[in-house]
Amino acid sequence: MRGGIFSVLSDFLSGLGRAQFFLLGILRAVPAALLRPRAIVKQLYMIGVLSLIIIVISGMFIGMVLSLQGYHTLVRFGAASSLGVLVALSIIRELGPVVTALLFAGRAGSALAAEIGLMRATDQLSAMEMMAVDPMRHVIAPRFIAGIIAAPLLTAIFCVMAIGVAGGHAIGVELLGVDAGSYWSQIRANVDVHDLIQSFIKAAVFGAVISWIAVYQGYHAAPTSEGVSRATTSTVVVSSLSILALDFILTAFMFR
């Protein structure tokens, strides 16, 4: 029993160590990758633009639900006019970055891991190495950079959809009759630029972590269909848990 626990712990720590060395390799390749903006733009499209639909729809529905739940609670205390600030702060501080990151891990992270895992399985990465082309610069770093850029942008879109006309506003103002002026003025009075910056920082950190986990899992996937499948599953599971743990740590530091 004790041996089993030590073995699991040892595997976890050695995996963590390998992942950190891998991250160092990515960071070394980042300057060269930045000189190829077209590769980064292509990846932004693949992992950012193609994730838009799921982010927009999720943002809308989460804003609507939050508005509905918030209204029925606030109205009991005669504070229905504060619905805007409840929705906005909940979305900007927590739900926006966290839900976007979870969706991003499921949609883009798994796709990244599968793509790189298949490149490994079909010898495309080996072929690059044999052509004296570093896959870290050519394949991994552009995807990592694109992940860091895409996550905050998607979070911003998620927040706009959740708080705005199609989300919280549609339910709170149009359906439940909260005054539009107080909905928006409460938001303007209580949401400051620090909330937006902290949300942005969270989203960028989540984007970096998801991309790191996805490219690591894909790059080290066994060159079999089962290996690729395991890499995509691990990406989603490890990313999701990391996002939730990191969210707590970042929140604890930011809102002291």
Closest distance of CB 2 from other proteins, Å: 27
Closer residue to other proteins (CB): 169 or 220: 220
Give the count of beta carbons closer than 10 Å to the beta carbon of residue 200: 18
Evaluate whether 51 touches 147 at the Cβ level (below 8 Å): no
In Å, how far from its chain's centre is CA 99? 8
**Nearest partner of 95 among 5, 225, 170, 199, judged by Cα:** 199
Lookup result for tokens 């006019």: 81
Closest distance of CB 191 from other proteins, Å: 42
Closest distance of CB 224 from other proteins, Å: 14
Provide the token pair at 4: 């089993």
Closer residue to other proteins (CB): 117 or 172: 117
Closest distance of CB 118 from other proteins, Å: 8
Rg (the chain; Cα; Å): 21
Secondary structure of residue 179 in the 3-state scheme: coil
Closer residue to other proteins (CB): 46 or 151: 46
Closest distance of CB 131 from other proteins, Å: 5
Closer residue to other proteins (CB): 25 or 195: 25
Residues that bind other proteins (CB under 8 A): 119, 122-124, 126-134
Rounded CA-CA distance 246/232 in Å is 21
Closer residue to other proteins (CB): 5 or 130: 130
